[in-house]
Amino acid sequence: MYEPRIIAFLCSWCSYTGADTAGIARMKSPANIRAVRVPCSGRVSPELVMRAFDQGADGVLVLGCHIGECHYDSGNHRAAKRLPILHSLMTFVGLEPERLRLDWVSASEGERFSRIAEEFTGAVRALGPIHWRVSPDERQPASPELVTAHEAIPFPEADCAAKTDAIRRKARELLASNQVSCVIGYEVSRRGRTRPVFIYTPEEADCLVWNPDCTNNLTSYLPARLRPIKGKEPPKPIAVVVKPCDSKAINVMVAENQYRRDQVYALGVACEGIRDPGGNMQTRCVTCQEAVPIVCDTLIGGTTSSFIPRLSSYAREEIDELQNATPNERLEFWLGQFDRCIRCYACRQACPLCNCPECLYERDDSTFIGLGIGLNEKRTFHLGRAYHLAGRCVGCNECERACPMNIPIGLLNQKLTEEIEAAFDFRAGLTITTSPIVTVLSGEYKEG
């Protein structure tokens, strides 16, 4: 008979002792469970859970102290926030929901431990062996595609000369008055491609442009340029041209202390949408209602309004389509997508919020991911990255745009954005606030 292998992360103070209590009372617990003793359920990072599945676990059980009883006050608050998000992410890419469970067991609740362990093992056993880990030698990947197809909306004619003029004028003024050391904007290359440009003198301002191809999120250059360097003068403020979606990244970065708000001069441009290379409206722009940047020191080409736009998901139909599929179909879909990944990290590098000095998934000594460009590693990287952006992603979708291999990475971010919004009523970047999943629980928490 098939017996599942289950990894249980048990909090040393409550659940591990609870398991002990069950043993002392001679209660029966399934032998499938391999216990990993951790100092706190808050110590169980998503990487550990993903690693367990990557290494062939059939189920992962995370047990901590009841809320309010944490030995470290709020460690289990983090588990209570993180695990559900991870759960929805992993089920979204094809893990059966029953295979990952978070629950609470105190030191005296031997009976409860025994019951949960029994229940969980039974549920996982009923599912049969897991198909999560892929052996690259055996797999000939199919590439199932989504049925949902967005209607191509031809890009409307736009008059950008006035905005271009206004950007140049303001840039000249800021540089001449020495308010900023550099202006990051857009220029058109010799080949006719719109791309980022960095200007340092008022004379250079004439190369700045605004047009419907200004797709890059220029705030991704800010953290590295504004980081103070020991023994050197603190970096001078930088002006940056931002679209409404881009501007929200500034709020997130300021909330995370990557730079101060006064170090950035935001040249906000009222945006009517951005074009894709085919001349149509980019998908992210179709449903976007934000015409005016939220973070803005000078507004170009629009009127400031107190209207807080309805935030909408540009991937609603795709997410629904995947949600309605079976876990196995979802798994196949995503493996087919990740299969194309070449680990070039363009998504991460283009992201305004991926700002770790050294990526967890690129460290030579990373125990969470291998060096190979194989399916397991690629999936771990993308899921890990999506998780790290939960509650932080502002939806500029530059990751997906930068991807040379056409992988719909944005779907993962959108899915988590929706989850976060449903759970915490929070959207990243609207105010200077950190992600709700890195803070403690507020208000009353209901178990289960």
Residues that bind another protein (CB under 8 A): 136, 140, 143, 145, 189-191, 193-198, 216, 220-221, 336-337, 340, 342-346, 348-350, 358, 362-364, 370-374, 398, 401-402, 404-406
Q: Which of 239, 242, 352, 222 is nearest to 293 (CA)?
A: 242
User: How far apart are CB 314 and another protein at their closest, in Å?
Assistant: 17
- Nearer to another protein by Cβ, of 42 and 408: the residue is 408
User: How far apart are CB 9 and another protein at their closest, in Å?
Assistant: 20
The three-point CA angle 25-110-114 to 5° equals: 100
- Residues in Cβ contact with 436 at an 8 Å cutoff, skipping those fewer than 6 apart: 81, 391, 420, 423, 424, 426
User: How far apart are CB 358 and another protein at their closest, in Å?
Assistant: 8
Paired tokens of 407: 């992988």
- Nearer to another protein by Cβ, of 156 and 279: the residue is 279
- Nearer to another protein by Cβ, of 28 and 193: the residue is 193
Q: Which of 102, 45, 76, 125 is nearest to 380 (CA)?
A: 45
Distance separating alpha carbons of residues 197 and 209, to the nearest angstrom: 10
Beta strands in 56-169 (DSSP E): 59-64, 100-104
- Nearer to another protein by Cβ, of 62 and 369: the residue is 369
- Nearer to another protein by Cβ, of 121 and 337: the residue is 337
- Nearer to another protein by Cβ, of 228 and 404: the residue is 404
User: How far apart are CB 372 and another protein at their closest, in Å?
Assistant: 4
- Nearer to another protein by Cβ, of 140 and 178: the residue is 140
User: How far apart are CB 67 and another protein at their closest, in Å?
Assistant: 37
User: How far apart are CB 347 and another protein at their closest, in Å?
Assistant: 8
Distance separating alpha carbons of residues 108 and 20, to the nearest angstrom: 9
Q: What is the DSSP string of 138-187?
A: T--------S--PPP-BPPP---HHHHHHHHHHHHHHHHTTS-SEEEEEE
- Nearer to another protein by Cβ, of 358 and 444: the residue is 358
- Nearer to another protein by Cβ, of 365 and 444: the residue is 365
- Residues in Cβ contact with 263 at an 8 Å cutoff, skipping those fewer than 6 apart: 226, 235, 237, 238
User: How far apart are CB 406 and another protein at their closest, in Å?
Assistant: 5
Give the type of residue at 28: K
Phi, psi of 103 (to 5 degrees): -150, 175
User: How far apart are CB 69 and another protein at their closest, in Å?
Assistant: 37
Q: Which of 142, 150, 64, 138 is nearest to 107 (CA)?
A: 64
User: How far apart are CB 379 and another protein at their closest, in Å?
Assistant: 14
Paired tokens of 239: 């002006």
- Residues in Cβ contact with 129 at an 8 Å cutoff, skipping those fewer than 6 apart: 2, 4, 58
Beta strand pairing call for 100-104 and 194-199: unpaired
Long-range Cβ contact pairs of 198-207 (< 8 A, separation 24 or more): 199/171, 199/175, 200/175, 201/175, 202/171, 202/172, 202/175, 202/176, 205/168, 205/171, 205/172, 205/175, 206/168
- Nearer to another protein by Cβ, of 225 and 427: the residue is 225
Q: Which of 151, 97, 56, 94 is nearest to 337 (CA)?
A: 94
- Nearer to another protein by Cβ, of 189 and 257: the residue is 189
User: How far apart are CB 197 and another protein at their closest, in Å?
Assistant: 7
User: How far apart are CB 360 and another protein at their closest, in Å?
Assistant: 13
Number of helices (H) and strands (E), helices first, in the chain? 14, 9
As a 3-state breakdown, the chain gives helix, strand, coil percent values, each rounded to 5, of 40, 10, 50
